[in-house]
Amino acid sequence: MKISYHGHSVVKIETEGKTLLIDPFITGNELTDLDASVQNPDVILLTHGHNDHVGDTFDIAKRCNPLIVAPNELAVYIGWQDLNAHGMNIGGSHTFDFGTVKYTQAFHSSSYTTDQNEIIYTGMPAGILFTAEGKTIYHAGDTSLFGDMELIGKRHSIDVAFLPIGDNFTMGPEDAAAAVELLNPKLVVPIHYDTFPPIRQNPQTFKDLVTSHEVKIMKAGDSFEL
């Protein structure tokens, strides 16, 4: 399994001959190395409806018709655009031919803003537990620190956790470091920082706070094998 990071909260997973994109915010993301026009994922996984996470989902999907897995209300809205969507909800899991997806709670908000200045309610925000090839990846989406992260960590042996550290809209470095202790992943990668002025952070600050787990600070385009 190959995992790569592409700025903000964009994560690519290549497994079982499939390519998955999580929260593909590419256009307008000055920190990414990707070109949305040449992305051809088999699957797009979405954590919630905010535009900096849905990102280029619609344009990519209209071009190459991937399966889009999303929280239910967001999936319904995507389906109304004549796209291939599979809706799920918090606590539910589903095994696909590319792996198992389970949605966890996240404490945040979730809506999609259209070009007509409409705000579309897109249900509850979520985190994603993705399991394939005997490995489990946790993408927390946008969230605050919450106590049930400990339960998530106890119920699932997490190989890699992608955690937001940007503060202002999500956990900051201190709360994210506390989340690491609750989740107990083998490896943690900080995400969702530096993209916009309110979430400027030095990821080394987060790394220094995490003393009992391995932290990997990734630049856009960096990858590793799991």
C-alpha atoms less than 13 angstroms from C-alpha of 48 in its C-beta half-sphere: 23
Predicted confidence at residue 110, as pLDDT, reads: 98
Question: Can you give the residue ranges of every domain in the chain?
Answer: 2-218
Output the pLDDT for position 209: 98
What pLDDT sits at residue 75? 98
Q: What angle do CA 65, 26, 93 make, to 5 degrees?
A: 55
Going from the C-alpha of 26 to that of each of 22, 91, 151, 186, 222, the distances in angstroms are: 11, 28, 33, 28, 16
Per-residue pLDDT of the chain (226 residues; tens, 9 = 90+): 999 999 999 999 999 899 999 999 999 999 999 999 999 999 999 999 999 999 999 999 999 999 999 999 999 999 999 999 999 999 999 999 999 999 999 999 999 999 999 999 999 999 999 999 999 999 999 999 999 999 999 999 999 999 999 999 999 999 999 999 999 999 999 999 999 999 999 999 999 999 999 999 999 999 999 9
38: which DSSP letter?
Answer: G
Closest CA to 86 of 3, 137, 100, 219: 100
User: Distance (Å, rounded) from C-alpha 82 to C-alpha 79?
Assistant: 5
State the CB neighbour count (10 A cutoff) for residue 42.
18
pLDDT at 119: 96
**Burial tier of 139 (Cβ tally within 10 Å: 0-12, 13-18, 19+):** buried
CA-nearest of 184, 141, 143, 131 to 162 is: 141
Q: What whole-number distance in Å separates Cα of residue 139 and Cα of residue 120?
A: 23
Farthest CA pair distance, the chain: 48
Asked if 101 contacts 92 with a C-beta cutoff of 8 angstroms, the reply is no
Superfamily of 2-218 according to CATH:
Ribonuclease Z/Hydroxyacylglutathione hydrolase-like (3.60.15.10)
3-class secondary-structure state, position 197: helix
Task: Give the pLDDT of residue 150.
Answer: 98
